[in-house]
Amino acid sequence: MVKVVADMHGSMGRNLQSRGNRILLLLAGIVAMALATLQPARAQVGSERYSSIVIDARSGRELSSVNADEERHPASLTKMMTLYMVFEALRDRRLTLDQMVPVSAHAASQPPTKLSIVPGMKLTVEQCILGLVTMSANDAAAALGELLAGEEFSFAQLMTLRAHALGMSRTIFRNASGLPDPDQVSTARDLATLGRRLIIDFPAEYRYFSTPAFRFRNRVIPNHDRMLQTYPGADGIKTGFVTASGYNLVTSALRSDVRLIGVVMGAKNGGERDAHMAMLLDQAFERMDVAPPVMARRDAPGRVLPGTPPVALQPPAMTASVRQLASRWAVQIGAFATETAARQAAVNARRLTDSGQIHVESATVQGRTTWRAQLVGMNASEANGTCSALAKRKVTCVVLRPDPGQLARAF
C-alpha cells in the first residue's frame, strides 16, 4: 500500500513537472514571438530561401544584410546581367537600339512570361530591352543572347565571366532569362553589386528600368515592378520568381541625393516581398539620416501615406479635346493621386525646361483613378531634349510618340 501511494506521488510529481515544463516552453515561445515583433525588418520572410541586403549605391557600404552570401536561384533577376551585357554592347557600338534582332525557334519556344514572338520575326534591340524591363520577357532575353553570342548557353558563359570580373564571385549563369536551372545561382550581395554597377556604368540606360509601360504589336505592356508605384523614390530595377527561388526583388530608390539598392530573395509572395523591401529601405534611409518624403499620396480609400506619387502604369488614353496636340510628341512626368498634384508637377516641369504645353488628364488603371501630368505639343527633338533636361534634374519622365500614348523612350 505504501509503495502504491509512493508510486502515485512519484507519477503525480512527474506529471506536474512535465506540465510545468510545457508551460515554461509555451511562455518562452510567447516571449520569443513578442521579441521578434520588436525586431527591425531583418526578421525572416518566407522560408530558408530568404536572404536580403541593402547597400549605399554611392559607396557600396552595407547597411543591413541577412544571409547575403548564401547561394540562391536568381530567377528573372538574371536579366539584369543580360541587360548589362547589352548595354556594354551598345556603349561599344557592337549594337544599336534600332538594330533588328532575329528570332530563332529556340528563343520563340521559351515559356512565359514572353512577348510571344515567333521564329523568323524580327524586333529591335530597344523593343527587347523594354520587354525585359517591363514584363520580363524570356523569349526576348534568349534572342538577345543569341544575337550577342550565337547561342544562349555561350552567352551565359560570357555572362558568368563578366559577372566575376565585376566582383560577383559566387554567381553562375546558365541562361539569359533566369528560367529554372539547378546550376544557375547567385547571392543577394552579388546582385546588389550588379545593380550598383548598372547604375554607375550605364546611368542613361539604367532609366529603362523605370519604364512604366510600352506598346508592342498593338499591346500595352505594363511594368511588373509594383515598387515603382508604391515606394517613394523607387526608380527600378527588377522582379523575379521561379518555384525554386520564391519571390525575388532588386530595388533602387533615391531620396535627398542618397541612393540605396536593396535585394530581397525567397519571399512567399509578391506582396510580402514588396512590403519587406519597403521596410528594409525605410530603415536604411533612416540610418543614413534621410528624412521621409513630405508629400502625400493616397494608397487606398481613406488612407494617406507619406511619399511621392506613383508612376503611371500605362501610357495615357488621350481625350478628344487634346487629340490635335497628341498627334505630336509629348513628355509624361508621372501619375498622381489628385489633379492638383499632377498640375503642379506639370507646372514645375515647364518651369525647369521652358518647353511644351501643360496638360493634365485622368485615367483609371486597375480600378484606381490617377491624374497624368504631361508637356505636349512638341516635335521629336524637343520632346527628347525636354526629357533629358528633366532627367538631369532627377525628374523621371518618358517620351511619347505621336501615336497616342506610345512610349518612345524612358529617361
Q: What is the mean pLDDT of each run of 10 residues along the chain (411 residues)?
A: 46 50 47 40 64 97 96 98 98 96 97 95 95 97 98 97 98 98 98 98 95 91 93 95 95 96 95 94 95 55 33 33 48 82 84 82 70 82 80 78 50 48
Q: What are the residue numbers of the active site?
A: 76, 79, 136
Residue 340: count of CB within 10 angstroms of its CB: 11
Q: Which of 376, 318, 370 is CA-nearest to residue 342?
A: 370
One-letter amino acid at 178 equals G
- Residue 324 pLDDT: 39
- Residue 32 pLDDT: 42
Tell me, which fold does domain 320-410 have in CATH? Answer: Alpha-Beta Plaits (3.30.70)
- The whole-model pTM stands at 0.65
Tell me, which fold does domain 51-292 have in CATH? Answer: Beta-lactamase (3.40.710)
In this structure, the chain runs to a length of: 411
Q: Three cell numbers at 115?
A: 512577348
Residue 11: count of CB within 10 angstroms of its CB: 10
DSSP string, 389-409: HHHHTT---EEE-SSTT-EEE
- Residue 17 pLDDT: 52
- Residue 386 pLDDT: 84
Measured distance between the N- and C-terminal CA atoms of the chain, rounded to whole angstroms: 92
State the DSSP H helix or E strand holding residue 368, giving kind and residue range, or none if neither.
Answer: strand 368-378
- Residue 354 pLDDT: 78
Q: How is the chain split into domains, by residue range?
A: 51-292, 320-410
Q: Which of 351, 394, 392 is CA-nearest to residue 375?
A: 351
Cβ within 8 Å of residue 315, ≥6 positions away: 212, 213, 215, 220, 332, 400, 404, 405, 406, 407
C-beta separation of 101 from 122 below 8 A: yes
- Residue 395 pLDDT: 81
- Residue 405 pLDDT: 41
